Amino acid sequence: MSRIPPWLFRKASRRSANIAALLPACRDLQSAMNEFRWLKEHVNSTASTGKENLLSRLCRKRGQGYPLQYILGSQPFGPLDIKCRPGVLIPRPETEAYTFHLADLIKAGSLRTGEPDQRLGIVDFCTGTGCIPLLLYSLLYRKFEHLEVLGVDISTQAVSLSRDNIGHNVKLGHLPHPGPHRTLNILQQDIFQDKVIEELQRRTWDVMVSNPPYISRRVWYHGGGHIGHSVRKHEPSLALVPGNDIRIPEKWEHEDVFYSRLLNIAFTLKPKVILLEIGDEMQASRVISRLSQHKLSTNSHVEVWRDWPDLASSHDEESPLKVTMDDGTSRLVSTKGSGNIRSIFIKLDV
């Protein structure tokens, strides 16, 4: 990361010491001013005394890299206000973008999921704050007479927070209240336990989504890639790095192990659509290569979505992703949208 020039600190200091304190995290003056405004609004709405001291303390804390969402306690996610707490991964705008795009495809009927305008089942594994299932529920509630949306996570903190987020957004009027025919639930379970999947198999799941842990141990401990120091220091490794106790199947990398499990789960649950967030282009290539050897690959259509799948691709982004198979041959996989490679979309004929 490049150093901030002294003249920028001087310019920020002329506005306020608090804005200057935010610069190391914000990197530019406009972002620092925006965050200062949000922090000031937060202090004014939550503190009755000692506001100036509290504001200065929070600005210094933020300037040292502590996530803004943990300080403010929430993050906008579409029309929702998602509560954020330490120990649970903060929702990202790229996740919001592909969730919106998936909902748009479902509403348009282009995925042929479930009975038209009648019934739809969605399961989200590694749900974290619950941002994905909550947003899908809010966007699809009026489209389907029967809608079942389920988020699953192993973390007690994540499950508690995601359930709080349901009540919080219902109370704010951002989320329709669940009822007998339109349900939104969060389940605490370990998806590596077969009995959990056997229980889920009793219901019909048309759409399966997951933003699983996918960061390598090398990147987590030593840096590199697209993950910043603040993320490694303050956000939970449980949500980002696969555990050391998980058995790694043959030909799979440690950081890809959740995808191996998710493909097996999909083969059992038989959704019509799968959407998996991934870390980068190399990981997408590895997972698609492994998918080609999986039982799911029969009658499947695969494409890769970039950060912003709704946007038109630039000239440099129009090229398909080249995936090298085990036998040395190559496969071209179409890409969609603009930005970095972000997710793998799989449509199954089941």
- Considering the domain architecture, whether residues 32 and 106 belong to the same structural domain is answered as no
pLDDT at 328: 85
pTM of the model: 0.95
Whether 230 and 329 share a structural domain: yes
Pick the last residue of a domain from 30, 48, 66.
66
pLDDT range class, residue 255, cuts 50, 70, 90: very high
User: Looking at the structure, do residues 187 and 294 belong to the same domain, yes or no?
Assistant: yes
Mean pLDDT value across residues 239-254: 96
Do residue 220 and residue 161 come from a single domain? yes
**What is the domain range of residue 288?**
93-348
pLDDT value at residue 226:
83
Quick check: is 73 in a domain?
A: no
Tell me what pLDDT residue 115 has.
59
Q: What is the mean pLDDT of the chain?
A: 95
Confidence band (pLDDT; 50, 70, 90) for 118? confident
Range list of H helices, the chain:
6-15, 17-26, 29-46, 51-63, 68-72, 93-108, 131-140, 156-172, 194-200, 217-222, 229-234, 257-269, 281-291
Task: Count the Cβ atoms, other than its own, within 10 Å of residue 87.
Answer: 17
| pLDDT band, very low/low/confident/very high, at 327 (cuts 50, 70, 90) | confident
In a shared domain, residues 98 and 54: no
pLDDT score of 176 more than 90: yes
Residue 17, CB half-sphere, CA atoms under 13 Å: how many?
7
Residue 148 pairs in a beta bridge with 121, 183
What is the token pair recorded at 72?
Answer: 């403010």
> What does the pLDDT read at residue 281?
96
Reported as a pLDDT band with limits 50, 70 and 90, residue 216 is: very high
Look at the chain and report how many structural domains it folds into: 2
- Is the pLDDT assigned to residue 112 strictly greater than 80? no
pLDDT band at 314 (very low <50, low <70, confident <90, very high): very high
pLDDT digits (tens, 9 = 90+) for 298-307: 889 999 999 9
Are 27 and 128 within one domain? no
Kindly report the number of other CB atoms within 10 A of residue 193's CB atom. Answer: 11
Q: Do 34 and 127 have their domain in common?
A: no
> Looking at the structure, do residues 123 and 57 belong to the same domain, yes or no?
no
